[in-house]
């Protein structure tokens, strides 16, 4: 079936060094060249008509689906769902396109829901660096370069996911080449920011971060939580405005000894109602004795904001790991759990 070229990683990339990988986030965005046949297949699916796009994946492999959904929410006329389970949702039928992503290619939940998609005859696109998923011969596969941690592969994965979703939706395709330069420029000024990554990481030593995003920055908040969990081996939370104004705002009376640091992920493109909610929530959290911080994403577009802020937050997770003298690459407990389940 159709294949993408297996891309070689830039020689400066050190797969066993998470700080190096996060530093190369911008370069990884423009590393993968998707074969035109895959995009043509996606365009064909668009022409034939589809009822929705369902992502299958877990952890670091699945988040690109949330990014695509949040980013394209205003343009898309079909739903995108992101399934992190053994089961394929029953609303997904042969009129849906399923995009299954597993960096290792061996994640059992993803393989299970993928086999259900195969059974019902959905149109399927796969993305993996190897494992059982790479043995599939029936469907187009995007081959990811191997040797990385799945979460470090987000820029690679997303740079393929977005053009595929855009093709499936009949939209103009994003050019990732220019984004590399944009993100490098932004990262060169991190230390001039009000809070450079290391300083923010220091504030997470005593306090548990609660990342709060809205709209296109909601998945960025979720990604930040996951990166602190996996890279820094520390507790973190995430939530979303306006929803958290209807529940979480009441929760700081009884925190059971957990000292929370709300981190508002702010967009320069916030609509008035969301902007006001953030400002009022910030003030109320201050009055409650919390010490919230605002992180303003910088970018001319929602996509630039999402990626630049993700890059910045990923670096915070690595800085925090360094402060804890922890290796951000190793995920011993995830490995052990997968091993026990496979017995």
**Residue that is written with structure tokens 């998609």 in the block:** 117
Query: 121, 97, 96, 101: which is closest to 111 by C-alpha?
Result: 101
Min dist CB 75 to ligand PA5, Å, is 27
Q: Of the listed 136, 230, 240, 270, which one is catalytic? A: 230
Q: Which two tokens stand for residue 315?
A: 């670096």
Catalytic residue among 74, 246, 254, 339: 246
> Residue 26 or 60: which CB sits closer to ligand PA5?
60
The piece of 8-16, 148-156, 166-174, 250-258 that touches ligand PA5 (CB under 6 A) is 148-156
The whole-angstrom separation of Cα 91 and Cα 10 is 41
From residue 144, how far is each of 26, 78, 105, 107 by CA, in Å? 17, 27, 10, 15
In the bound complex, what is the minimum distance in angstroms from residue 230's beta carbon to ligand PA5?
A: 6
Binding test (CB under 6 A) with ligand PA5, winner from 4, 41, 61, 83: 61
Number of chain residues interacting with ligand PA5 (CB under 6 A): 15
Instruction: Kindly tell me which residue out of 26, 52, 59, 213 binds ligand PA5, with binding defined by CB under 6 A.
Output: 59
* Tally of residues, the chain: 343
Beta strands in 286-333 (DSSP E): 293-296
**Closer residue to ligand PA5, CB minimum distance, 39 or 318:** 318
H-type helices in 121-196, by residue range?
154-168, 177-188
The answer to whether residue 317 forms part of the interface with ligand PA5 (CB under 6 A) is: no
Which of 27, 31, 47 is closest to 39 using CA atoms?
A: 47
Is residue 84 involved in binding ligand PA5 (CB under 6 A)?
no
Contact 54, 87 (CB under 8 A): no
- Does residue 230 carry a catalytic annotation? yes
103 is a site residue for ligand PA5 (CB under 6 A): yes
Output the smallest distance, CB 281 to ligand PA5, in A.
30
User: Contact, 224 vs 211, CB < 8 A?
Assistant: yes
Q: Is 338 a catalytic residue?
A: yes
- Which pair of structure tokens corresponds to residue 150? 């799945």
Options 60, 163, 213, 262; binder of ligand PA5; rule CB under 6 A: 60
Q: Is 246 a catalytic residue?
A: yes
Cβ proximity to ligand PA5: between 194 and 334 the closer is 334
Q: How far is CA 103 from the centre of its chain?
A: 13
Task: Indicate the residue among 122 and 149 with the shorter CB distance to ligand PA5.
Answer: 149
In degrees to the nearest 10, what's the CA dihedral of 151, 152, 153, 154?
60
Which residues are designated catalytic?
Answer: 230, 246, 338
Q: Which residues bind ligand PA5 (CB under 6 A)?
A: 58-61, 102-104, 107, 110, 149-151, 230, 331, 334
């Amino acid at each position: 079936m159709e294949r993408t070229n297996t891309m070689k990683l830039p020689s400066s990339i050190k797969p066993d060094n998470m700080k190096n990988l996060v530093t190369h986030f911008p370069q990884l965005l423009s590393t993968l060249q998707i074969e035109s046949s895959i995009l043509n297949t996606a365009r064909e699916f668009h022409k034939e008509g589809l009822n929705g796009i369902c992502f299958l994946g877990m952890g670091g492999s699945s988040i690109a689906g949330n990014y695509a959904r949040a980013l394209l929410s205003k343009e898309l006329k079909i739903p995108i769902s992101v399934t992190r389970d053994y089961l394929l949702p029953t609303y997904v039928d042969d009129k849906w396109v399923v995009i299954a992503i597993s960096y290792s290619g061996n994640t059992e939940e993803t393989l299970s829901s993928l086999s259900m998609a195969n059974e019902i005859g959905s149109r399927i696109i796969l993305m993996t660096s190897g494992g059982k998923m790479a043995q599939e011969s029936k469907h187009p596969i995007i081959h990811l370069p191997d040797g990385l941690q799945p979460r470090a592969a987000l820029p690679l994965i997303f740079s393929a996911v977005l053009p595929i979703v855009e093709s499936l939706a009949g939209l103009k395709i994003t050019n990732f080449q220019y984004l590399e330069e944009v993100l490098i420029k932004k990262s060169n000024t991190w230390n001039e920011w009000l809070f450079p990554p290391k300083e923010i990481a220091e504030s997470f030593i005593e306090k548990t971060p609660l990342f709060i995003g809205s709209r296109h920055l909601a998945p960025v908040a979720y990604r930040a939580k996951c990166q602190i969990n996996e890279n820094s081996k520390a507790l973190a939370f995430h939530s979303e405005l306006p929803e958290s104004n209807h529940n979480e705002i009441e929760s700081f009376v009884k925190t059971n000894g957990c000292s929370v640091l709300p981190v508002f992920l702010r967009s320069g493109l916030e609509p008035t109602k969301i902007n006001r909610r953030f400002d009022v929530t910030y003030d109320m959290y201050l009055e409650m004795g919390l010490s919230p911080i605002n992180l303003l994403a910088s970018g001319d577009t929602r996509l630039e904001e999402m990626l630049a802020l993700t890059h910045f937050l990923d670096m915070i997770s690595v800085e925090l790991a360094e402060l804890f003298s922890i290796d951000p690459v190793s995920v011993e407990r995830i490995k052990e759990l997968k091993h026990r389940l496979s017995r």
